[in-house]
Structure 1
Amino acid sequence: MTEPKILIVDDEDMMRTALEQWLRLSGFEVRTAGNAPEALRLADDWHPHVILTDVRMPGLGGLDLLRSIQESGLPIEIILITGHGDVPMAVEAMRAGAFDFLQKPYVPEQLVNSLTRAAERARLKREIADLRRRLDGGDNELANRLIGVAPCMQALRRSILELAPIPADIILLGETGTGKEVVARCLHDFSPRAEKPFVAVNCAAIPAELIESELFGHEAGAFTGAGGQRIGKFEYANGGTMLLDEIESMPLLAQAKVLRVIQERVVERLGSNRQIALDLRIVATSKVDLELESAAGRFRADLFYRLNMATLHLPPLRERGDDSVLLFHHFLALAARRFGREPPELHPADIDAILTHAWPGNVRELRAAADRFALGLNGNGRALGHMLGNRAPDLGGGALAERVANYERHIIETELRRHDHSVAAVAEALHVPRRTLSEKMARLGVSR
């Protein structure tokens, strides 16, 4: 990851030099400007992630610079520093869109933490802007169908492009709401079968006594109530792709007959002896491990082995890092367009709520939350975290240092849960050395 780019704006030479040296040692790429007009020119050319500016300067001050950056639409976060700060000024700055407001004398570590978080927010804004540009382009790239920049999503897209042209049956394994049907549709649409039918069958939604008729079809009079001929799903999907969704719910008797269809690539309608040749790809989805289910006798092992030419694992949203924010922005824009409304603005607290929520329902839950947020159904104007049921950290009522320690503990514990308790992954996510993080965890009493 590239170093965050920080632009320091201050009319005092000594202050600029001291800040520049400190921030370079702290791992930032730094440039300086002595006034707001110079800062605006640098912002246009250099595109910093964060502008750290004094409030009171000759001519245009820090608040004026903040408003100019906001009007320009540049994805840059602003942190204001002043030696003359007061509550009204801080309120005005935050309402104008400042990321943070620090009063001199500030704690250097607090400044570094604020800059790190602001740079991460700016990076997210840029990714979201790039995502919107690609989506507005209207092309049919796989990245527009399976949105995400997490390494696991990039690997998934590569696998889809590799497998799509190959006539191989595939198992899609993933939790509820991870987008298994979307992936199945991508495998179809990016294959030579794209112009042929894509037929989806939810195995859990069909009663056991009807599943054979639904899949294989029947002739007139094949059973009581069969008044006419019916084409089954397998036959209807001929030439294309057949999706067997939630295949773990299919009755064992039906599994035996489906196995024969998959092995022989022929189907017989109920009440008929005529075999109909099939040319189709089978994509099966499951939210449980079919190998374990077959070992436990709840799923036919021979059907599992026949389907398991390739298995794609769909990652849950909690393992996809910042993808949750990208997806929320995407679905929020779609919902606002559908409802004929302007998409509501997401504030820093809303972004934090998205990143820290567990999302047990994965992308499906996130999309529903974006729809509610677009409609204003977020708890009478309260933050998104209230709508999601996220609890604010209990910072206690002690001194400032104690409250800061409690907040740091909350952040580290949240990141540990997000990254499966990997200290190395948390250190990378928080942009701190692993040794520093380990020492801080020991001091705060945070265990893995």
Structure 2
Amino acid sequence: MTENADDRTVLIVDDDPSMRAALRQWIRLAGFATVEVAGADEAMSRLSPDFDGCVVSDVKLEGDDGLELLRRIASRDTDLPVVLITGHGDVPMAVEAMRAGAYDFIEKPFDPDHIAEVVRRAADKRALVMENRALKKQLEEGAGLESRLIGNSPAMETLRQQILHFAKTDAAVLITGETGTGKEVIAQALHDFSLRSDGPFVAINAAALPEAMVEAELFGHEAGAFTGADRRHIGRIEAAHNGVLFLDEIVSMPLVLQPKLLRVLQESKVDRIGGTKSIDVNTRLVSASNLHPGEAVRSGRLREDLLFRLNTIELHVPPLRERGRDCLLLFDTFSNRLAVQYGIGAPGLSVRDEAFLQTYPWPGNVRELRNAAERFVLNAEVNPQPLEALVTGQREPSDPTRSTGLKDLMDEYERSLIENALRRHKGRVADVLRELNLPRRTLNEKMARHGLTREQAGPTETSET
């Protein structure tokens, strides 16, 4: 097994203090931690869904006996091993215990080595059950997240793994990425797959509020705190108690309020405007920015000390143009969902539409792509148009004889792939060669044929390997 015995606990249930002491000594010598209780009710109060060991109980107990305790445990968790001990055992009792789900049945007097071995096997079985449950939960969570963050590109697979991992912590998260990449979807996922999922998810966009309203919305106010404040208002931070607060466009928060937010993060207390006492808050902060946080600090829009509190974990969402064929999968998913929503048939894509999907830079990212899918679905039956015309507005002359050959489409797609790779790697040809799996000479020939240069991709490095 992957777990050490020292990581697992044995719950000892016996109303005889001397027997509890003996069992404690033998089981601890076998390498397990122990918890000892005298009766069934107290035993049930110590058992949680993630209890990682096994139960060793005497059959003769005051109140509910060991067999009844076994039934109560089985009704809560059939996979929790229970070992029963008795000095008055007989064959019918042993049969009844095993039928009720006992892992094993041991008669007094017993060999300490024997009970240690039984406990070890029972704990190993429990460890396997817990590992399988954890794996099943991970698979279910992964599948659930895949339906929200659609994409098979390596960048998206990595992002989903990071979300599931960091969701289990309470550390502050800063999500960076261009407009329309789905930062709020990620923030919601960090809440939904966390231990705070039963708590509130409270979102506020700092850029969408007038500056004068940001403080009152975030921190709240008491009645009479200012003109028009005729009643107490609970701020978003306080409303997110025991949950997650999502601050979108964090760099748009007024500088004068940033120290106040920093105090909330440092001390877990919030001060309402006009209030006389601080209020304890327990909230996890997730923030987002479409501007690089370092640039926000350099431009004076974000305090550096606040940034250090915001980006304990930093998640970057790649733009759609860097996600390869994800745009096809996303468009197909959106088209089918929207067709169902509107009660119409989902139209198919032409070869030219597919080529456009993969070569267009999608400056509005996933948000723009979804809008394009909606327009494509709604226009398909009454006003069918090429996807390019719907997205760019560039209408072509109606010429049924005009067509774009496969070679032209492939050339356009190839040029887009190389151009995007050069931009992604800032002109570092060695990195482009690795990504596209091309020999240097072939890449040079293709760049020349398509009129591409390293300088078009932005700043370049002076040396390569």
The alignment's TM-score, normalised by the length of structure 2, stands at 0.60
Deviations 1:157-183 (A, max 9, x none): 111111001110010000000000000
Q: Separation in 2 of the partners of 1:348 and 1:202?
A: 40
Is the 2:222–2:231 Cα contact (8 Å) retained in structure 1?
A: yes
Whether 2:421 is the aligned partner of 1:419: answer: yes
Q: Separation in 1 of the partners of 2:308 and 2:209?
A: 24
Q: Separation in 2 of the partners of 1:328 and 1:203?
A: 30
Counterpart of 2:279 in structure 1 is: 276
Query: What is the DSSP-based 3-state SS (H/G/I as helix, E as strand, rest coil) of the residue aligned with 2:272?
Result: coil
Is the 1:379–1:386 Cα contact (8 Å) retained in structure 2?
A: no
| Distance verdict in 2 for CA 1:283–1:344, change over 3 Å | same
> How far did residue 445 of structure 1 move?
5.0
Over the matched positions of the two proteins, sequence identity in percent amounts to 46
Counterpart of 1:252 in structure 2 is: 255
- The counterpart of 1:369, out of the listed 357, 367, 372, is 372
- What letter matches 1:190 in structure 2? F
Query: What is the DSSP-based 3-state SS (H/G/I as helix, E as strand, rest coil) of the residue aligned with 2:314?
Result: strand
Residue correspondence of structure 1 range 126-165 to structure 2 within 5 A: 141-165=144-168
- What letter matches 2:191 in structure 1? H
Q: Separation in 2 of the partners of 1:385 and 1:171?
A: 35
| Distance verdict in 2 for CA 1:392–1:414, change over 3 Å | farther
Counterpart of 1:213 in structure 2 is: 216
Counterpart of 2:240 in structure 1 is: 237
Counterpart of 1:167 in structure 2 is: 170
Deviations 1:136-173 (A, max 9, x none): x9996211111111111111111111100111001000
Whether 2:441 is the aligned partner of 1:438: answer: no
Is the 1:409–1:446 Cα contact (8 Å) retained in structure 2?
A: no
| Distance verdict in 2 for CA 1:353–1:431, change over 3 Å | farther
| Distance verdict in 2 for CA 1:406–1:372, change over 3 Å | closer
The alignment's TM-score, normalised by the length of structure 1, stands at 0.62
| Distance verdict in 2 for CA 1:337–1:437, change over 3 Å | same
> How far did residue 348 of structure 1 move?
1.3
> How far did residue 378 of structure 1 move?
9.8
| Distance verdict in 2 for CA 1:430–1:343, change over 3 Å | farther
| Distance verdict in 2 for CA 1:440–1:199, change over 3 Å | closer
Q: Separation in 1 of the partners of 2:273 and 2:255?
A: 18
Whether 2:197 is the aligned partner of 1:191: answer: no
> How far did residue 260 of structure 1 move?
1.1
Whether 2:453 is the aligned partner of 1:447: answer: yes
Query: What is the DSSP-based 3-state SS (H/G/I as helix, E as strand, rest coil) of the residue aligned with 2:175?
Result: strand
- The counterpart of 2:180, out of the listed 173, 177, 182, is 177
- What letter matches 1:360 in structure 2? P
Deviations 1:225-275 (A, max 9, x none): 111111111111000000000011111111121111111110121111121
Unmatched tracts of structure 2, length 5 or more: 1-139, 397-404, 455-465
Is the 2:220–2:236 Cα contact (8 Å) retained in structure 1?
A: yes
> How far did residue 429 of structure 1 move?
7.9
- What letter matches 1:294 in structure 2? V
Query: What is the DSSP-based 3-state SS (H/G/I as helix, E as strand, rest coil) of the residue aligned with 1:285?
Result: strand
Counterpart of 2:315 in structure 1 is: 312
Deviations 1:284-309 (A, max 9, x none): 10000122221232211111111121
Q: Separation in 2 of the partners of 1:389 and 1:154?
A: 30
Q: Separation in 1 of the partners of 2:355 and 2:249?
A: 33
Is the 2:359–2:412 Cα contact (8 Å) retained in structure 1?
A: no
- What letter matches 1:319 in structure 2? E
Counterpart of 2:38 in structure 1 is: none
* Range with greater deviation from structure 2 (321-330 or 289-298): 289-298
> How far did residue 277 of structure 1 move?
0.7
| Distance verdict in 2 for CA 1:443–1:306, change over 3 Å | closer
Larger Rg: 2
Whether 2:266 is the aligned partner of 1:263: answer: yes
Is the 1:234–1:267 Cα contact (8 Å) retained in structure 2?
A: yes
Is the 1:188–1:198 Cα contact (8 Å) retained in structure 2?
A: yes
Deviations 1:373-393 (A, max 9, x none): 110169932211222228799
Q: Separation in 2 of the partners of 1:391 and 1:425?
A: 35
- What letter matches 1:419 in structure 2? A
* Range with greater deviation from structure 2 (427-436 or 195-204): 427-436
CA RMSD after TM alignment: 2.9
- What letter matches 2:388 in structure 1? G
Deviations 1:74-121 (A, max 9, x none): xxxxxxxxxxxxxxxxxxxxxxxxxxxxxxxxxxxxxxxxxxxxxxxx
Residue correspondence of structure 1 range 27-176 to structure 2 within 5 A: 141-176=144-179
- The counterpart of 1:287, out of the listed 290, 295, 307, is 290
Counterpart of 1:341 in structure 2 is: 344
| Distance verdict in 2 for CA 1:248–1:444, change over 3 Å | closer
Q: Separation in 2 of the partners of 1:440 and 1:304?
A: 43
Query: What is the DSSP-based 3-state SS (H/G/I as helix, E as strand, rest coil) of the residue aligned with 1:420?
Result: helix
Is the 1:325–1:351 Cα contact (8 Å) retained in structure 2?
A: yes
Query: What is the DSSP-based 3-state SS (H/G/I as helix, E as strand, rest coil) of the residue aligned with 2:301?
Result: coil
- What letter matches 2:216 in structure 1? S
Q: Separation in 2 of the partners of 1:444 and 1:147?
A: 32
